[in-house]
Structure 1
Amino acid sequence: MRKTLTALLFVATLPTLAMAMPEGGPRPHERGPEMFKELNLSKEQRQEVRKLMGEQMKSRHDITRRYLDKLPEAEKQAMKKDLDKAREDNQKALRALLNPEQQKAFDEHQKKMEARRAEMKEFKAWKAEKDKKAS
């Protein structure tokens, strides 16, 4: 559940970030690994920067999870519902931008993703049951 809520929180923020992005995409001096291209880093420095950025992402994930764990179950469910609604609205808006051929491909991709989500949910339930029996 924790991973799901964290993933949902992350997925819900992506459209917001995309809308907040300046015209023409991110500027190299402001965001992500592009800002390091101007520094002409060595291979070792790039690896270390990648490692530090990964650690920062994990730390942010852990902090987010820690606060989400403190939410009452009713608020977690309300948050999940809001995130699901935001995702659906975003997908509808995105689909509306596409031509009919693109919409068909988009719909097929969405069906595949739903099937994968269902498989993962089933797997997690099976694993939880297996872990419960092992204990």
Structure 2
Amino acid sequence: MRKTLTALLLAATLPTVAMAMPEGGPRHERGFGGHMFKELDLSQEQRHEIGKLMREQMKSRHEITQRYLDKLPAAERKAMQDELTAAETKNREAIRAQLKPEQQKTFDEMQKKMEQRRAERAEFEAWKAEKDKKAQ
């Protein structure tokens, strides 16, 4: 069960990362399939279309994964979320430890901004859910 949850978690987070990347961003040069783009010498239009297909596939994978995660009992979802949070915190601390003091300050500011954006997003999602609930 733990391996399944880990696999589902990984499958669920990768699309989120990919979808957060702006269109035409660095992902076309490196990262997912970056070596493929260089070796195939694709045109800008081809890179755009392939990137679009990759984003659609990742979105679909995320939706499928979410359907199965939604079926987990509440206790297992909570345990998974707690484990994810702990792993994220540990990774963030390890990254921060590799930075120089001035870089740490910038990193801390970036983390604070990310947390603010997450809080704003959560607030928006809650508002949207409430609005949808009232519309029904």
Structure 2 length as normaliser, TM-score?
Answer: 0.69
- In structure 2, the residue matched to 1:60 is 61
The letter of the residue matching 1:105 is T
- In structure 1, the residue matched to 2:13 is 10
- In structure 1, the residue matched to 2:118 is 117
- 111 and 51 in structure 1: CA distance in 2 versus 1, 3 angstrom threshold: closer
Unaligned runs of 5+ in 2: 1-7, 18-29
3-state SS, counterpart of residue 118 of structure 1: helix
The letter of the residue matching 2:54 is M
**Aligned mates of 1:45, 1:73 — CA distance in 2:** 43
More off after superposition, 63-72 vs 84-93:
63-72
Kindly state the Cα deviation for residue 58 of structure 1 after the two structures are TM-superposed: 2.3
- In structure 2, the residue matched to 1:23 is none
Contact 1:95 1:106 in 2 (8 A): yes
Contact 1:6 1:61 in 2 (8 A): no
Contact 1:6 1:65 in 2 (8 A): no
Aligned pairs for 1:8-47 (under 5 A) are 9-10=12-13, 32-47=33-48
3-state SS, counterpart of residue 42 of structure 2: coil
Share of identical aligned residues, percent? Answer: 63
Structure 1 length as normaliser, TM-score?
Answer: 0.69
| Pairs aligned (count) | 115
**Bigger-Rg structure (1/2):** 1
Unaligned runs of 5+ in 1: 15-27
2:113 corresponds to 1:130: no
